[in-house]
C-alpha cells in the first residue's frame, strides 16, 4: 500500500486534496498533528462525508496533550462516519513542540507505552483501567472498535516498543537503509519478546518530482532541514551514517539516501522496490519546489499512475 501525506496547506485545501486522492484511487492519506496545526481527527470527520474508500491515518497525534479516553471518543465518531477506514498514529513528539502545552516532557518511551496499552485496551476490549505514572484512566465504551493503533518510531528502542505493543511503527525521515538494518531488527526483537507476529512498518518517503540533485537537496532542506537540529532526529541521522553539521540543512548524501526523486517513472520504480520485507506501507510526502497544493496534486497523479 502506498499512501500520501498532505501537509503545508489549510483545512479547505486539505479536504479538497483528500477528495481528489480518493477519486484518483490513492490507497490512503495521512495528516500530521504536531504543535498547534489543524487537528487531523477533526479534518477526518469532514473528509469522511466527502470520500468513499480512501483510508484516513493520523501520523501522528501527540500523546502528551490529549488523553487516550478523548481519542477513543473521537474514534467512536470517525468509525461511525467512515467504518474501517480510520488508522491512528500516535507518538510523544518532541520536547520543543510540547512546550506549547506546558507539559513536563520526560521518559517519552515509558509514557508512550502506557498510552498505547491504555488506548488499545479501550478500543479493542471496550474498557480500560490504568493507573500508571503518566496515564490514568477508568472508562468503558459501548462497542469495541477495529481501529489500528500505530506509533511513531525513530530509534531502536521505539521500534522495539512498537514490536511489543503497537499495530505498526510509523517512521518519519528515517532513511530506508537505516530502517532495514537497524529499525526492523529492533521491531522484530520487541515482537519476539511479546510472543507476537511483528507488526508492519509504515515507511515515510519524501519524494520530489525533479531530476536536478542540487535543487532537490535545497528543497529538502527548506522542507525538513530543521529536523536535523532536533536531538532525537539528530541521533537517528547519526546512527544512519549521516551526522548533522549543526545547520538546519540536508547534505546531498542525506538527500540521496532519503528522498526519492527523478522522473515520474523513476520515482514509481523506486517506490515499488521499497515495499516488502517488513515494510507494509509507504507514506509519501511531496517536497514542493513551488506551490504546495500543486505539488500535492502532482503527487496524487503520480501515485494514481500505472504500476504503483
Nearest-angstrom CA–CA distance, 88 and 72: 10
- The pLDDT confidence band at residue 206, using thresholds 50, 70 and 90, is very high
Element (H, E) at 152: strand 149-152
Cell (9 digits) for 197: 507476529
Domain of 32, in residue numbers = 2-303
Does residue 47 form part of some domain? yes
Averaged pLDDT of the chain: 95
Is residue 200 in a domain?
yes
User: Tens of pLDDT along 119-159?
Assistant: 999 999 999 999 999 999 999 999 999 999 999 999 999 99
**3 state SS of 183:** helix
Q: How do residues 19-54 score in pLDDT, each as one tens digit?
A: 999 999 999 999 998 777 899 999 999 999 999 999
Distances in Å between the Cα of 305 and the Cα atoms of 2, 22, 30, 156, 294 are 12, 14, 19, 35, 17
Residue 223, domain member (yes or no): yes
CATH of the domain at 283: 3.20.20.30
pLDDT of residue 36: 79
Strands (E), 21-132: 28-31, 55-58, 61-62, 86-91, 127-131
* Total structural domains within the chain: 1
Determine the length of the chain. Answer: 308
Per the domain annotation, does 208 fall within a domain? yes
Q: Answer yes or no: is 266 within a domain.
A: yes
Tell me the Ramachandran region of residue 99: left when phi exceeds 0, alpha when psi lies from -120 to 50, beta otherwise. alpha
CA distance 21 to 32: 17
Tell me if 234 sits within 8 A of 228, measured CB to CB. Answer: yes
Residue 173 lies inside a defined structural domain of this protein: yes
pTM above 0.85, yes or no: yes
pLDDT for 61-102, tens place per residue? 999 999 999 999 999 999 999 999 999 999 998 888 888 888
- Contact indicator for 29, 55 with CB cutoff of 8 Å: yes
Let me know: does 289 contact 261? Beta carbons within 8 Å: no
Contacting residues for 116 by C-beta, under 8 A, at least 6 apart: 90, 149, 151, 161, 165, 166
Burial 64-96 (b: 16+ CB within 10 A, else e): bbbbbbebbebbeebbeebeebbbbbbbbbbbe
Residue 191 pLDDT exceeds 70: yes
Provide the phi-psi class of 40: left if phi over 0, else alpha when psi is between -120 and 50, else beta.
Answer: alpha
For residue 308, tell me if it sits in a domain: no
- Assess contact for 255 and 228: CB atoms under 8 A: no
pLDDT digits (tens, 9 = 90+) for 249-285: 999 999 999 999 999 999 999 999 999 878 989 999 9
The pLDDT value recorded for residue 306 is: 67
Mean pLDDT, to the nearest integer, of 176-199? 97
Distance CA(254)–CA(240), nearest Å, equals 9
CA 40 to chain centre: 12
The stretch 5-10 carries a mean pLDDT of 95
In a domain, 50, yes or no: yes
Amino acid at each position: 500500500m502506498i499512501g500520501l501525506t498532505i501537509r503545508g496547506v489549510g483545512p479547505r485545501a486539505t479536504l479538497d486534496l483528500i477528495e481528489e486522492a480518493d477519486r484518483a484511487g490513492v490507497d490512503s492519506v495521512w495528516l500530521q498533528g504536531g504543535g498547534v496545526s489543524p487537528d487531523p481527527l477533526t479534518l477526518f470527520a469532514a473528509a469522511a462525508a466527502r470520500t468513499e474508500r480512501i483510508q484516513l491515518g493520523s501520523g501522528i497525534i501527540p500523546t502528551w496533550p490529549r488523553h487516550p479516553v478523548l481519542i477513543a471518543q473521537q474514534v467512536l465518531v470517525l468509525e461511525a462516519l467512515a467504518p474501517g477506514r480510520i488508522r491512528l498514529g500516535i507518538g510523544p513528539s518532541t520536547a520543543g513542540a510540547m512546550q506549547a502545552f506546558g507539559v513536563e516532557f520526560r521518559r517519552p518511551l515509558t509514557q508512550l507505552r502506557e498510552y498505547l496499552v491504555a488506548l488499545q485496551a479501550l478500543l479493542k476490549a471496550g474498557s480500560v483501567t490504568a493507573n500508571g505514572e503518566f496515564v490514568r484512566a477508568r472508562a468503558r465504551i459501548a462497542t469495541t472498535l477495529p481501529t489500528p493503533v500505530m506509533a511513531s518510531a525513530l530509534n531502536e528502542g521505539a521500534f522495539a516498543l512498537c514490536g511489543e505493543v503497537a499495530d505498526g511503527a510509523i517512521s518519519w525521515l528515517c532513511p530506508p537503509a537505516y530502517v532495514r538494518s537497524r529499525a526492523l531488527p529492533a521491531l522484530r526483537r520487541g515482537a519476539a519478546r511479546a510472543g507476537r507476529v511483528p507488526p508492519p512498518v509504515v515507511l515515510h518517503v519524501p519524494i520530489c518530482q525533479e531530476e536536478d540533485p542540487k535543487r532537490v537537496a535545497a528543497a529538502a532542506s527548506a522542507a525538513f532541514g530543521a529536523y536535523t537540529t532536533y536531538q532525537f532526529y539528530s541521533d537517528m541521522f547519526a546512527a544512519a551514517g549521516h551526522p548533522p553539521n549543526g545547520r538546519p540543512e540536508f547534505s546531498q548524501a542525506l538527500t540521496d539516501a532519503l528522498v526519492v526523486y527523478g522522473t515520474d517513472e523513476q520515482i514509481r520504480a523506486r517506490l515499488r522496490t521499497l515495499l516488502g520485507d517488513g515494510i507494509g506501507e509507504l507514506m509519501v510526502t511531496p517536497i514542493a519546489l513551488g506551490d504546495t497544493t500543486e505539488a500535492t496534486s502532482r503527487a496524487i497523479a503520480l501515485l494514481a499512475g500505472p504500476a504503483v
